Structure 1
């Protein structure tokens, strides 16, 4: 059976270190509502998007300039019946050099098409990775969700 985990790959004219630093600047590309550490092994942080989504993640693998892995410890969606869809899944960023460019391969391991949230989540991740994270790496400015008042 073909691997169905959501995977998105971007290439940038920046160094692996610049990509790695941007990935770890979660407030700079995902959400300004992130609370907690987002850079070191075993750091835990929470993400919140209004009353629609909140989750707690833990950094379980950190290889500077090469790989970052987040484990989803807890998750809530206001728009799904099954609240366990993200729990125990992994968000993986793999950084490599390809043809004089830096490649970032994003995989949400465990986010698969049968999930109720798949369409919404895959569209959201695609926007964050190909838009906001890509821009943060290449221009120094991402488009994270703004702080809520």
Structure 2
């Protein structure tokens, strides 16, 4: 039998084991205040159908339409924000999704993150991987200390 590798396997993924409750972890992705704690200053609505807009200062903004906002899974789709300056990689991110799976694990939570569509074929791959790696560490720092390292902090 011949096996083929799915391009989905090339998506950027990360798994974090966090010393926080699933409710605490979920709250980081389901409100503007939560996203602001680890990614950057964020405004908007974190409920299904809402839009979250995160500012990266002179670099522009990222806007995400909320597709799922449950206690165990949050999914955002990258969109072009109306009336704002998008970040340089927004065109490459359009149509990609950020998936956060929140799984109880022992006394904490396992966070499984995938940026579906963010693959090695994209021009921003190296810089986006570096940025996601930084912001995954920000989530870990928040879970351990109560304070993340979002953009502008």
TM-score w.r.t. structure 1 length?
0.84
Match of 2:57 among 39, 46, 50: 50
Q: Distance in 2 between matches of 1:62 and 1:21?
A: 10
Count of matched residue positions in the alignment of Structure 1 and Structure 2: 140
Name 1:6's counterpart in structure 2. Answer: 12
Are the counterparts in 2 of residues 68 and 93 from structure 1 also a CA contact under 8 Å? yes
**Mapping of residues 68-83 of structure 1, within 5 Å:** 68-74=74-80, 76-78=86-88
For the aligned residue pairs, the C-alpha RMSD in angstroms reads 1.9
**Structure 1 counterpart SS, 2:150:** coil
Name 1:23's counterpart in structure 2. Answer: 29
Q: Distance in 1 between matches of 2:129 and 2:147?
A: 22
Query: Which region of structure 1 is more displaced relative to structure 2, 54-63 or 3-12?
Result: 54-63
Unmatched tracts of structure 2, length 5 or more = none
Q: Distance in 1 between matches of 2:92 and 2:19?
A: 35
Identify, as 1 or 2, the structure richer in strand.
Answer: 1
TM-score w.r.t. structure 2 length?
0.82
Q: Distance in 1 between matches of 2:73 and 2:56?
A: 26
